[in-house]
Amino acid sequence: MPATPKALSSALPTDVESILLLAAQSLFDAFASASEGMLLVDKSGRVVWINDQYRRYLPALGFHSEDEFVGHTVSSVVQNTQMDKVIESGKPIFVDLLTNKAGTFVVSRFPLKDATGEVIGALGIVLFDEPTANLQPLMAKFALLQRDLDEARQALAVQRKQAPQGLRQAKHTFASFMGSSPAAVDVKRHARRAAQSSSPVLLLGETGTGKELLAHAIHGASPRASGPLVSVNIASIPDSLLEAEFFGVVPGAYTGADRKGRDGKFKLADGGTLFLDEIGDMPLVLQAKLLRALQEGEIEPLGSNRLVSFDVRIIAATSRDMAALVRAGQFREDLFYRLNVLPIRVPALRERASDIPGLVEVLGEELAMKTGVLPPDLSPQALDVLVAQQWRGNVRELRNVLEQLMLRSDTPRIGASLVEQVLRESGMADISPAAMALWAQPLPVASHAAQGPLVPLAQQIAELEKVAIAQALSATRGNKAAAAQVLGISRAKLYERLESLNVILSE
């Protein structure tokens, strides 16, 4: 086994210099034993030494013995090496990925200098030979950030291309959907896959969760990104005008119609994407015409007998329960199946509470730029109050609360008391002090369980449920919606349990 290379200079005269030399030797020995491999080259780039750990890579690099490797220039025996660059520049490369015949490695490279500062060689250290295992969390995070950056650059390039043409364009990318929780990462993964398809997408989720933002991101990442993105909020347009809004109007189609006529949204979105927001609010009469248009790829403008072809990708969104609407006969089943090809459920903010601190920071910066007020600086207790909320309005509601806090705070630091006041006055507070106190109390066990004979388990559970519900209703002053939130169940579930318990008590 070759010995560790000797010091390149003679013993130094002073104690401090001796200590430094010993420290350098100790560090070298530590790297030599703890690293996955070390390689030393001289000023000409010739390999002069390798340690035992490095020797095991020789077969994979194509060498049968150490003599075939040592004594040759490093660039001739190690593919993609940067050791020559280190010798030439005299600057280290602290962390880098090296890929060659032996695999992919995390490496460091350091120049070696003499007492005058002249480069006399270089040292290469293999830190990890399985970077995917050792650095997987860091590499995964870097990959996500790099992907978001690439998508943002792509969207910017598309916007610059479209701007001179006056085309409607995507305003958001997947990077705009903030959050790194499992729920946020999962919805972005599904949306990215949907972007590469031409099939209809149905975004499902509560109001304020970011469905419109995702629609923009899907369009911007799709092959249709260079085409227009046209949005229609069905809930905001009177039923009598929806048909004209979708299919367009020919000149003089009816009294008061534009003399020049008007293109509908299908025509405007030709070659791009049509985003149908709040699709669950579409009247039944128009649903039949929309279904026919999607099936045939043709529309008939109002007042015209001529069919007009179009090429549009549909993205629809709704905060309503589409399956329930279909069962109730309020939404056509055939149209639902036509739209529900790639369904994506957008999670509520309470399902990704770990994203709230990051959202507070980003939204605060955006609001600061908009209002000219300093970004909110929330105390840890104030942030805890925000995280504990149910956020029925989701990210939109969180933004509203932050804006109020920024405008109402008299001090740079925002405390929990002001957050609670704003939530209470806005009617948004989900957790009353009484309810918080209730959470901290253990549920009492039925008294007769310990004193009398045992009773069936179902009856014990029913009695415990009765006690818990009674306490929740008392703490929330009879507010069933608030009581349901305290208990962690839906309001419908609470009503169901109340009815069930009443039956049990009456028997």
Q: To which H or E segment does residue 158 belong?
A: helix 136-162
Where is pLDDT greater, at 265 or 258?
Answer: 265
Query: What is the average per-residue pLDDT within 111-129?
Result: 89
Would you state the pLDDT for residue 445?
A: 47
Task: Confirm if 315 and 218 have CB atoms less than 8 A apart.
Answer: yes
Query: What is the average per-residue pLDDT within 285-308?
Result: 89
Would you state the pLDDT for residue 77?
A: 92
Q: Is the pLDDT of residue 485 over 50?
A: yes
Task: Confirm if 74 and 41 have CB atoms less than 8 A apart.
Answer: yes
The fold of 349-430 is: Helicase, Ruva Protein; domain 3 (1.10.8)
Looking at domain 15-134, its CATH class is alpha beta
Query: What is the average per-residue pLDDT within 115-144?
Result: 73
Domain boundaries defined on the chain: 15-134, 149-252+262-345, 349-430, 437-506
Would you state the pLDDT for residue 282?
A: 93
Query: What is the average per-residue pLDDT within 241-257?
Result: 76
Task: Confirm if 470 and 462 have CB atoms less than 8 A apart.
Answer: no
Q: Is the pLDDT of residue 452 over 60?
A: no
pTM over cut 0.85? no
356 Cα distance to chain centroid: 12
Mean residue pLDDT across the chain: 81
Q: To which H or E segment does residue 98 belong?
A: strand 93-100
Would you state the pLDDT for residue 470?
A: 82
Identity (one letter) of the amino acid at 152?
A: A
What CATH number is given for 437-506 in this structure? 1.10.10
Q: Is the pLDDT of residue 440 over 50?
A: no
Query: What is the average per-residue pLDDT within 446-465?
Result: 62
Pairing of strands 47-50, 37-42: antiparallel
Q: Is the pLDDT of residue 140 over 60?
A: no
The fold of 149-252+262-345 is: Rossmann fold (3.40.50)
